[in-house]
Amino acid sequence: MDSVSPLDVLSTTKVCVYFEGVKAVDEVDLEVPRGRITGLIGPNGAGKSTLFNAVSGFVPLTAGTVHCGAQDISGWSPTRIAQLGLVRTFQETRIFKRLTILENVELGSMGSGLSGVKARKAAGDALELLGVSHLSDELAANVALGDERRAGIARAVATEPDFLLLDEPAAGLDDDETAALSGTIVAIRDALGCGVLLVEHDMSVIFAICEEIHVMDSGRTIAVGSPEQIRTNPSVIEAYFGREHS
Amino acid sequence: MKSSVSTWSRWAWLAGLLAVPIIIVTFLISLTNDVSLIQRCTTALILMVMVIGLHVFSGNSGVVSFGSVAFAMIAAFTSALITIPAEKKPSLFPDMPNFLNWLWSFTVPVPLGILISVAFTAVIALLVGIPLVRLSGLAAGIGTLAFLVVVQVIVTKWKAVTRGESTMVGVPKETTLWWALGAVVLVIAIAALYQVTRRGRRLIATREDDKAAMSIGISIPIERLWGWVASCSIAGLGGALYGHYIATFSAQTFSIALTFFIIAMLVIGGLGSLTGAVVGVIVVQVLAELLRTVETQGIGPVPQIDAPGLTEMVLALILLLVLIARPAGITGGREITSWVRRRKGNVAQGAT
C-alpha cells in the first residue's frame, strides 16, 4: 500500500470554485489513492462541501482540473462521473423514500450498468456490508435515520465504485452508531479496494480510520498529513481546533 | 438476506390485479347487449389506453406532459391515411401533394395500419423528445403544450392531407369492444413490466430525487427519453384505435379539452401509479355517465336536472376537491399490490 500508481489516484490540480467573486475553493490540490481512506476536514465554511461537489460534478469548476486515474473528468456531468466509478453520498442521504431499501440499493447497482443477476448480487452484498439487509423490504420512508444513512451508503457501494466520496456519514448518529460506522467504512474499503474520501465533522471517526488527512480553511489547503502530523500541526490547531475549542 | 419477491412475480401481480377485473367487467357488459353501454365501455377502454400512456412518462418521471394527445392525433391521422380504401382517396384528397402520392396506391388492413401509425408516432416522439426531455417543471409543461398546438395547427391547416377543418371520413370503423379490451390488457402489461424492471425504475429514481439518481450514474435525459417514447407510442395506439372507432374526426377531436380530461383522470386516480391511471379512468367515466344520465332522464329518486354542462361542472368540482383534499389522488400514488401486501404480509411486493 506504500507505493500507489498515479493511475490509481483521484486527484485535483489547482481546483478553484468561485461564487460571484467569493473564493469558496481556491487552488486546492488533493490526492485520494485507491485502497486508502483520506479525510477532508476543516471548520464550517472552509470549502469542503464545495470541493466535494466540484469533484463529483455537481458544481462547475472555475479553474483547475480533476483526474480520476489517467482520465481528466473536469467539466463532466455527475452521471458520467458516477458511471466512470466515482460515486458520492449525500449528507441529507437523499434516499428514494417511496422505494424499499432493496430497490434503492439495486438502483445503485443497476445505475452503474451491471446486468440483472450481477446487479442483484451487488445489491445484496452492499446491504450485508452495511448491515441493513434485514430492512430490504421496508419502505425507505419508514426506517430510522441511522439505517437510512447506511442504506444511502449501501446504494453507493452497490455501484462498486473505484472511488467513494462520503459526505458527513456520521451526521445525526449516536456514539455507538458512529463507532460501528467507522468499522463499516474500513470494511467497505477492504471489500472493494476503493479509495475513500471522507468529509466528516466527528473527529473520532477521522482520526480512527483515515490514513491521510487534508485540512482546508477559507477555501485553501492549510495542511496535509498523517493523523499524527495533523493532530500536532500548529496551523491546524489554530484554524480548526483553536477556533472550535476556544 | 430476506428474499424479495422476484421481478416477474411483481409484474404478474401488478398486471394481473389490474387487468383481470377489467376483463371480467368488460365481459359482463358485453353480455348485456346494451349497445349504448357497450359503446361507453369501449370509449372508456380507449381513454384508459391514453391515460396509461400518459402515466408511463408523467407518472414515472414526475414531469407533466400536455403533449400526449398530439401523438394520439398523429397516429389517428396516419392510420386513417393508410387504411382508407385506395379508390376513395382521389375524391377525399384531391390536392394531395406529389411527394405523398404514393399513399394513393395502397391500402393496408386496419391492424397493420395501427401498428405502422404507432411506429411512426414513436419516431416522431424520439425526434421531439430529444430536446423536450431536457426540460423540467413548468418549462416541460409549456414545451409539450406548444408541441400540441403546433400539431393542432398543422393538422388544421394542411388541408390537402388532413382535410383540415372538414372531418376525416371514410376511415374504416373496425375498433370493437374486444380490440379496446385487448389494447388495455396489452398496455397494462407493458406499463407494469416497464416500472418493475430497470429502465422504469431508473426513471422513477429520477422522479424521487434527481441529484441522487445522477450520483449513482443514472442519466436523466436518457431515462426520460425511453419513458417518453414508450408513453407517446401508447398514446398513439389509443389515438389510432379511437380513430377507427369513431371513424369521422378532425383536429378538434384531439383538443386541449381532451388533454385536460386525460390529465384530470390521471390526477384524480393518483399521479405516480399505474393503479391510479386505471382507477382514475373508471371513477371519472362512471361519474360522467351518472351525471349525464341525471342530465337527460334522472336516476331513481334523483329527478332529471335539465342543466346542460352539469357533467363538466360537477367533474371540475370533483377534480378541485380531490386536489385540495387528496393531492396525491385516490390511490395516493400507490399501487394496488401495496394494499395486497399489507393485507397478506409479503405475498406481493408492489412496484412503486
Per residue in B218-239, pLDDT tens? 999 999 999 999 999 999 999 9
Does residue A119 belong to the interface with chain B, where contact is any CB pair within 8 Å?
yes
**Predicted TM-score of the model (pTM):** 0.90
Mean pLDDT within A222-229: 94
Contact predicate B15/B150, CB 8 Å? no
Phi, psi of B168 (to 5 degrees): -75, 125
Does residue A103 belong to the interface with chain B, where contact is any CB pair within 8 Å?
yes
pLDDT tens readout for residues B176-229: 999 999 999 999 999 999 998 889 999 999 999 999 999 999 999 999 999 999
Does residue B201 belong to the interface with chain A, where contact is any CB pair within 8 Å?
yes
Concatenated DSSP letters of A146-183:
HHHHHHHHHHHHTT--SEEEEESTTTT--HHHHHHHHH
pLDDT number for residue A237: 84
pLDDT number for residue B296: 82
Q: Would residue B128 count as lying in a domain?
A: yes
pLDDT at residue B18 tops 60? yes
Chain A CB contacts of B205 below 8 Å: 96, 99, 107, 111
Dist CA A45 CA A217 (whole Å): 8
Q: Would residue B264 count as lying in a domain?
A: no
pLDDT tens readout for residues B307-339: 778 888 888 888 888 889 988 899 988 899 887
Nearest to A82 among B217, B346, B352 (CB): B217
| CATH superfamily ID and name for A6-85+161-245 | P-loop containing nucleotide triphosphate hydrolases (3.40.50.300)
pLDDT number for residue B291: 87
How distant, in Å, are the alpha carbons of A100, A204, B83 from that of A216? Answer: 38, 18, 71
> What's the ipTM?
0.90
Chain centroid to CA A4: 20
pLDDT at residue A111 tops 60? yes
> Given pLDDT bands bounded at 50, 70 and 90, which one contains residue B130?
very high
Q: Between chain A and chain B, how many beta carbons pairs sit less than 8 Å apart? A: 93
Mean pLDDT within A186-190: 96
- Test mutation, A49, A58, A101, A103, chain B, max B CBs within 10 A: A103
Nearest to B1 among A56, A99, A133 (CB): A133
Q: Does A137 contact B346 at a Cβ distance shorter than 8 Å?
A: yes
Mean pLDDT within B136-157: 94
Q: Would residue B122 count as lying in a domain?
A: yes
Chain B CB contacts of A123 below 8 Å: none
Nearest to A107 among B1, B201, B211 (CB): B201
Cα-Cα-Cα-Cα dihedral of B325, B327, B331, B335, to 10°?
A: -160
Chain centroid to CA B239: 8
- Number of domains composing chain B: 1
> Given pLDDT bands bounded at 50, 70 and 90, which one contains residue A6?
low
- The residue count of chain A comes to 246
Q: How far is A228 from chain B (nearest CA, A)?
A: 33
Chain A CB contacts of B352 below 8 Å: 98-100, 103
pLDDT number for residue B301: 81
Q: How far is A154 from chain B (nearest CA, A)?
A: 11
Q: Angle at which helices B35-54 and B7-32 pack, to 10 degrees?
A: 160
pLDDT at residue A245 tops 80? no
Residue with cell 395486497: B340
Dist CA B141 CA B57 (whole Å): 13
Q: Would residue B327 count as lying in a domain?
A: no
Nearest to B214 among A79, A124, A137 (CB): A79
Dist CA B266 CA B286 (whole Å): 15
The whole-chain average pLDDT of chain A stands at 90
Q: Would residue B333 count as lying in a domain?
A: no
How many CB atoms are located within 10 Å of the residue B3 CB?
A: 10
Return the minimum-mean-pLDDT range out of A149-158, A212-221, B296-305.
Answer: B296-305
Does residue A99 belong to the interface with chain B, where contact is any CB pair within 8 Å?
yes
Parse chain A into domains and list their residue ranges: 6-85+161-245, 95-160
Contact predicate B250/B166, CB 8 Å? yes
Q: How far is B203 from chain A (nearest CA, A)?
A: 10
Q: What is the largest CA-CA distance in chain A?
A: 55
Chain B CB contacts of A155 below 8 Å: 212, 216
Instruction: Enumerate residues 4 to 63 of chain A having a beta carbon within 8 A of any beta carbon in chain B.
Output: 56, 58
Q: Angle at which helices B7-32 and B274-296 pack, to 10 degrees?
A: 20
